[in-house]
Amino acid sequence: MKYQNVVLLLSIFILTGCEKFLSEKPDQKLVIPKTLDDYQSILEISRVTEYDPISWERCTDNYFITDASWLSLTSEYDRRAYTWSKELLFERGNNNEWGYLYDNIYRANIVIHGLDNYKEDRTVSQYAQLKGDAYFVRGRSFFNGLQIWAKAYDATTAATDLGIPLRLDADINKPTVRASVKEGYERVLSDLKTAAEHLVTHPLHVVRPSLPAAYALIARTYLAMRMYDSVYRYTNLGLQYKAELLDFNSITNPNATYPVAPFNVEVVYHSFMTSAVILGASRARIDTTLYKLYDENDWRKVVYCRPQGDGYFSFRGNYTGHAGAFSGIATSELYLMRAEANARIGNVTAAMDDINKLMAKRWKTGTWINKTAATKEEALAVVLTERRKELIMRGLRWMDIKRLNKEGYNISLKRIIQGVEHVLPPNDSRYALPIPEDVIEMTGIQQN
Amino acid sequence: MLLFCLPLLLAAQNATRFIRVTDNDYLPLAGVTVQWAYKTKTVLTNSTGIALLYNLQPTDSIWLSATHYTETAVQAGMQDTITVVLQRVSSQLEEVIVHTGYEALPKERVTGSFTRVNTQLFNEQVGTDVLSRLAYVANGLAPTTTAVTAPNRVHSSNGLVLRGVNTFSRTTADPLIVLDNFPYEGDLLNINPNDVESITLLKDAAAASIWGARAGNGVIVITTKKSRFDQPVQISLTMNTTVMPATDLFTLQQIETPDIIELEKYLFGRGYRLSDTASTSRPPFTEVYRILLQQRRGQINEATANGLLNELAAYDVRNEYKQHFYSPAINQQYALNMQGGTKRHSWLLSGGWDKNLSETDAAMQRVTLRWNNTYKVTDKLQITSDLSYTDSRNKSGKPAYGTVRYMGQSLPPYIRFADETGTALPLYGFYLKDYIDTAGAGKLLDWKYYPLTDYQHSVQTSRLNNLSAVLGINYKILPALTADIKYRYQEQNIRDEHLQTEKSYYTRDYINLFTQINRQTGVVNNIVPRGDILDAAMARLLTQDLRGQLQYNKGWKVHQVTAIAGGQLSATVNKRESFRVYGLNSEYLTHRPVDYVNRYPQFVNNVQAVIANPMSLSETNRRMLSFYGNASYTYDGRYALSVSARRDASNLFGVSTNNLWKPLWSSGLLWNIHREQFFKVKQVNELQLRITYGTQGNSDPSRVAVTTFRYVSPNPYTQAMFSQIDNVYNPDLRWEQVATINAGIAFAVLKNRISGSVEYYRKNVSDLYDNIMVDPTLGLQRSIMIQNVSNMRGQGWDIELNSININSKIKWTTNLIVNRYNNKITKRDIIPPANTVVSSAVLPGYSIYAYFAYPWAGLDPATGDPRGLLNKEVSKSYANILSADYPISDLVHIGSLSPVWFGSMGNAVQWKGFTLSARIVYKLGYYFARPSINYNTLISTKSGHADYYKRWQQTGDELHTDVPSFIYPAVVARDAFYQQSEVLATKGDHIRLQYINLSYSSHHKFLQKLFLKELQVFGVANNVGILWRANKYKLDPDNFSGALPSRVYSFGVRVHFK
């Protein structure tokens, strides 16, 4: 009656052995990554739901909040971050900046590990792009982590300064330990350079990494390390592939909620930060001194600054086209990095050329008068002021303060809350934010 | 019938006559010693229970004797065939066969712990399904309570708990159910209860460990009736009807209508919801509010308004349900069983038909067919086949109480479904009456909701087909060694349909919501097409099992060895798919496509939405490969030793083969003390000691040890799919492990007048699936992860006593079951916050059913506010009390939510053919949180608990009430604190008369003329009533939140044909 089935089942068992019988997926919807498309899907999520840190903005001088806003804050973490408290800047669990960061690293590690053991044809272009993508994601995540949880790079102490844990494979049984700042930056550079070997010059979409994005990020890393000739070299390499600037005169409605279109011609790589209540448009106000730096003819005075009716302005110039702050890479940053490198090296004219080129696209048509500089110092001062004005709410100011204070710029941060003044002096240990306390408890790594 | 009896009749001669000897079940008894002529002549009955008596005189006495049966003497008389039914000496001496699903063993040789429920006990109650009536009669099976079956607690899905729940996960809380030889994966309703011969509960490791990794919660083995060789054709018919009067909705403790109207007037005066008159989503107002609004706008005067309100005050929605939707439930059951056997072939054919109509007219029809055959091909080779088929259909009925909703909540009490003439009244439960009366200027479908008739247009049907085929080959290799191969194929298909025609409110509403009307041209554009909406879901279950087993059974001198060893392959595939069809014309089966992608503005509030597309596909596979062995050795009938071992592997735990295989073992010892030479206590005729130890497992199909991802949806920028982590590489993931020690003593004294057993067990459960904190640095997208980390311990007593109180013409027997069970979590790394402990989270050091509550500090004498304790001081800061930071040590541990002592007592009195049996059940040593008023819910739903009348209203009330005062606006935290405070903790202990069964059985001569052998009529009353309860609120601890279920009456006949 059911002999055939008996025979069938028996032969399945005998011929293919129990191993195959037991290797059937318990749920058809489960994906055990095997194909390149599977690996692609693992990285793809970071472009949709994963966020970059925001503490590098929560703690900087791009903004301030009024006493009334301070009182109405619902998040204790925001309050502590705003005053550079030494503890409890992050909630427990994985839904915080630390968790998001290492989430991306884990995913990149799964792909790197999977590609290393990939048995099929490795010559297809998707293989190389994926490999570059995974290394790019990992290198970039380590870089972001170093900005937030480690001291500024200082060649003299980097070998002993505590960096962040460098998790390099997907084995979750390996312990979490902190590497040095030096090891951290070396890993960032090696990951990004590996990425650069594999990435394509023109990606399917700027939410995916590309060769110019990798070069730009390498340049940014050297900038944080204050190695300016390398900054010069990699900005040049990046600008070879992508150099177009967005003319702010062409923005159709400078008074729109978010006037800058996402994925515009300047965007080399698109990503954005997680949100923080304190940085919402209803609370965060652009620093008044910073606001005063914008000329009446500078479009950024309108495009970046939304009047809030309380005499102050909130920021609306996100390159994301929505409330999320842009943490990607734009060509404007590349020009500013190259200008700074040139100024420091002594190529004053080249430095001023880049500034003039950028400003022509920022000011109302015909109003910008090309600037020149007599000395290296003069040029550098212009470049740094323009950098300050251009790259606000981009997650770069925190890194700039840290590295410039290492150069003796003596930038102090100050908050006044209900008459009480809070100061963060230059090179303070609090520039490395406290690591989430539950991570310390579970892993035993040293707190900052 | 006549045909089969004819040969016997013809063979009868003057002085030589036949005698037929059967047991209580009318099965022929072979080997009975038959003596007559003053015991000078002796013969034995043959395998059909027949013996030929020669030279028999009508005045002769005939003596019949057989072991285990009462010696009986009958008068020869004049009949051609003498039929005698031999009574068993007592149920204790019955040769109890323990079915483990792998083998059947006599009780005397089984070391493990089991409970056997036979047909007779099983049939004292009536039901459509097999297992629901077990809870009251089976020793060791725990009853459920409302609190422990709440969705946030761990409990078995079918309500059966055998010696406690030994896990933290709902997915691993069910006992394994075995039908004859294989785990049963289908719907338990597929089994016709009239096909059941017995049910065996395997309780300890020695009994259950043969089932390995799925036996951690015990095993329930259902054994169906089988045909036998050498038996005449037997036919029996069972018919019964069960009537359950409609639930009395007035047993619900609720606030009466006039008081609700007063409350609404007050709320209106305070401006509650008045801002909604301007809301763009057009929420509806109650009838009271409509009247009050009309009055305020000057459309009606105060007298008219009061008149209208008084009219409403006379209504009660429970009457509406009662009148229009409720009627007595009637279940009918018919079962026919035929069996017969020759020397080489035996067969059994049975059929059942059930027709149930619930109190709200939901219909269920089931047809079951079973065909069982055994062929003795040669003396060594035997082939068995068992085919069963089930077809059942369900159809939804009228709405049950509480299912007609108003703004998604229960109805205000003055709602009516029909006017005096019986015409359906609309319920404005979704949008404002004034709005839908005019919206669309007649171009929309009627937007009113008529609860009285809507169910006719929204019908859910379900059809299930189940086919199960078992084929077995048994070959005797040597006299003591047999080989057995069994294969089972089971396929169950379920198709659910929910058809909501265009006349149903749902469909009309959905079409209207997506209707666009051009204001200039008046052209109507239906984005959701006109027509019916059909939701369909298909589920297919396919199970295949193959088992090969060797069996060795040999006895010599004083030794007896029984051993089995085998291997088994099982594969279960579950496939599901569901979809929806819009614009269906049910008559011609045409349908219209819809746009699931783009967003469209909704008619009422213009918010853009996509059309719902409830489509899903899924498939799961479970595969298992097992090897097992079991051996027992009995010496001189005095000592028995058993060992068993089993290894399981499954596809659930993936590639890491190291952990794929898990050995589970057990060992047991039995000592029949009464057979020892030295044992000389005459009064004790049986004394048996048993002790076993072993391990079982518990596996959860949703746990996978490898890293897996799940595709989510495409990245909108690149169109490439993105995926997220589903399972994390978890190499240590394994089965939960239950180590059970069981010690028992069984005894019988005074010639079996009193017998019983006492058993103690302890279950040490380790490797429980529980959460551990995960280092966020690992990047696993989760802060907690499941691992085998926690431990718990359960222990208890199973005591059973049987006595024959009177044993003469009237026979009175008593059966008492006493069970005790409690458990304690011995290790858990995560300490949950207090505000989750009061709802369901479990704490180390306490039972998984521990009941924690906030301490109560009485009502505030000034305001009637409930007060708790915060930092040991009286406090009304409810938010702080309810916060996660509240110290757990400040909570009050009330006790257990699950009965610690439970069991039942059955009494049966027999006189002639009458048997009256009754059983009381009891549950002791537990608590429940009694329901009370929740003001926040009262204000939003206009219905609330009758404790409202006991509320604090003025200073001094706090001396005699604990019900907080009414305040507006209501404070959610204030209500929540009161609900979770110790003041509502109520003792659950109670004793209930569960059922009474009166039956009459006749073998009267008159029946013989109708070709009947036996006629049995019976009546059962179930859920009779509570005899005693510890709480003073007159609450039924099993049904404290809803209406009380009615008493259930069943009547039936069982007929055995000649």
Q: What ipTM is given for this predicted complex?
A: 0.86
Question: Is B721 close to A44, i.e. CB distance below 8 A?
Answer: yes
pLDDT digits (tens, 9 = 90+) for A155-209: 999 999 999 999 998 777 788 999 999 999 999 999 999 999 999 999 989 999 9
- Indicate the burial class of A392 (C-beta count within 10 angstroms; 0-12, 13-18, 19 or more): buried
Contact A45 B652 (CB under 8 A): no
Distance CA B105, CA B95 (A): 10
Q: How many C-beta neighbours within 10 Å does residue B888 have?
A: 15
| Residue A36: other Cβ atoms inside 10 A | 20
Closest CA to B261 of B412, B123, B431: B412
CB B350 within 8 A of CB B225: yes
Q: Which residues of A touch B658 (CB under 8 A)?
A: none
Separation CA B731–CA B787 (nearest Å): 10
User: What integer pLDDT is reported at residue B173 of this predicted model?
Assistant: 85
Contact B779/A2, CB-based, under 8 Å? no
Structure confidence at residue A15 (pLDDT) = 44
Three-state SS for A312-379 is CEEECCCCCCCCCCECCEEHHHHHHHHHHHHHHHCCHHHHHHHHHHHHHHHECCCCCCCCCCCCHHHH
Contacts of B546 in chain A (CB under 8 A): 6, 9-10, 13
Exposure pattern of A251-277 as b/e (b: 16+ CB <10 Å)? beebeeebbbbbebebbbbbbbbbebb
CB contact under 8 A, B625 and A27: no
Coil, helix or strand for B898? Answer: coil
Interface test with A, best of B777, B784, B830 (most A CBs within 10 A): B777
8-state DSSP, B254: B
Query: 């608990």: which residue's tokens?
Result: B945
Indicate which of A15, A42, A94 best probes the interface with B, i.e. most B CBs within 10 Å of its own CB: A94
**A48, pLDDT greater than 80:** no
Cross-strand partners of B542? B491, B573
Indicate yes or no: CB of A165 within 8 angstroms of CB of B777. Answer: yes
Q: Which of the residues in chain B have pLDDT under 50?
A: 1-14, 90-94, 654-658
3-state helix, strand, coil in chain B (%, to 5): 15, 45, 35
| Shortest distance, CA A409 to any CA of chain B (angstroms) | 34
Long-range contacts of A76-83 (CB under 8 A, 24+ apart): A78/A276, A78/A277, A78/A278, A79/A278, A81/A55, A81/A276, A81/A278, A81/A433, A82/A58, A82/A278, A82/A415, A82/A417, A83/A415, A83/A417, A83/A422
Beta carbons of B633 and B640 less than 8 angstroms apart: yes
* pLDDT tens-digit map of B32-76: 888 887 777 888 888 778 888 877 777 778 888 776 677 777 877
CB contact under 8 A, A167 and B779: yes
B-chain residue closest to A203, CA distance: B718
Angle, vertex CA B796, rays to CA B794 and CA B799, nearest 5: 160
Identify the three-state secondary structure at position B407: coil
Q: Which residues of B touch A99 (CB under 8 A)?
A: 776, 779, 781, 783
- Whole-number pLDDT of residue B94: 43
Q: Determine the distance in angstroms separating the CA of B885 from the nearest CA of chain A, rounded to an integer.
A: 14
* Closest CA in chain A for residue B726: A30
Nearest chain B Cα distance for residue A10, angstroms: 8
Q: Closest Cα partner for A178 from A167, A188, A187, A186? A: A167
Q: Is B657 close to A92, i.e. CB distance below 8 A? A: no
Alpha carbons B1056 and B1058: distance in angstroms, whole number? 7
Distance between CA atoms of B951 and B964, rounded to whole angstroms? 6
Q: Quick count: other Cβ atoms within 10 Å of Cβ A282?
A: 10
As a three-state string, the secondary structure of chain A is: CCHHHHHHHHHHHHHHHHHHHHCCCCECCCECCCCHHHHHHHHHHHHCCCCECCHHHHCCCCEECCHHHHHCCCCHHHHHHHCCCCCCCCCCCCCCHHHHHHHHHHHHHHHHHHHHCCCCCCCCHHHHHHHHHHHHHHHHHHHHHHHHHCCCCCCCCCCCCEEEECCCCCCCCCCCCEEEHHHHHHHHHHHHHHHHHHCCCCCCCCCCCCHHHHHHHHHHHHHHCCCHHHHHHHHHHHHHHCCCCCCHHHCCCCCCCCCCCCCCCCEEECCEECCCHHHCCCCCEECHHHHHCCCCCECHHHHCEEECCCCCEEECCCCCCCCCCECCEEHHHHHHHHHHHHHHHCCHHHHHHHHHHHHHHHECCCCCCCCCCCCHHHHHHHHHHHHHHHCCCCCCHHHHHHHHHHCCCCCCEEEEECCEEEEECCCCHHHCCCCCHHHHHHHCCCCC
Interatomic CA distance for residues B164 and B823, integer angstroms: 8
- Distance (Å, rounded) from C-alpha B831 to C-alpha B841? 9
| Distance, CA of B903 to chain centre | 18
Confidence at residue B412, expressed as pLDDT on a 0 to 100 scale: 92
User: In angstroms, what separates the C-alpha of A407 from chain B's closest C-alpha?
Assistant: 32
A-chain residues near B627 (CB < 8 A): none
> B729 vs A438: CB contact, 8 Å cut-off?
no
Closest C-alpha to B538, from B440, B439, B624, B617: B617
By DSSP bridging, strand A313-315 and strand A178-180 are unpaired
Q: What's the whole-model pTM score?
A: 0.78
Rounded-to-integer distance, Cα B205 and Cα B111, Å: 10
Our measurement of the distance from residue B641's CA atom to the centroid of its chain's CA atoms, rounded to an integer in Å, reads 36
Strands (E), B774-843: 784-807, 810-827
Residues of A in contact with B569 (CB under 8 A): 9, 13, 21
| pLDDT of B6 | 39
- The CA–CA distances, whole Å, from B752 to B447, B683, B746, B800, B817 equal 74, 9, 12, 14, 17
Residues forming a β-bridge with B941: none
Interatomic CA distance for residues B255 and B260, integer angstroms? 7
In the block, tokens 């404005």 appear at B428
The CA-based angle A148-A150-A153, given to 5 degrees, is 110
Subunit contact A26:B621, Cβ cutoff 8 A? yes
Higher pLDDT, B72 or A99: A99
Distance CA(B780)–CA(A110), nearest Å, equals 11
Distance from the Cα of residue B899 to its chain's centroid: 18
Write the residue in A1, A41, A207 that is nearest to B385 by C-beta.
Answer: A1
Which residue in the set A13, A167, A205 is minimally distant from B777, CB to CB? A167
Q: Specify the DSSP element, H or E, that contains B457.
A: helix B451-457
Pick from A44, A51, A207 the residue to mutate for testing the B interface (most B CBs within 10 Å). A44
CB pair distance less than 8 Å for A96 and B776:
yes
Q: Round the CA-based radius of gyration of chain A to a whole number and report it.
A: 24
Picking from A139, A114, A138, the residue whose alpha carbon sits closest to that of residue A40 is A114
Helices A228-241 and A331-345, axial angle in degrees (round to 10): 140
Query: Which chain B residue has the Cα nearest residue A93?
Result: B783
Taking an 8 Å cut-off on Cβ atoms, the answer to whether A19 and B657 are in contact is yes
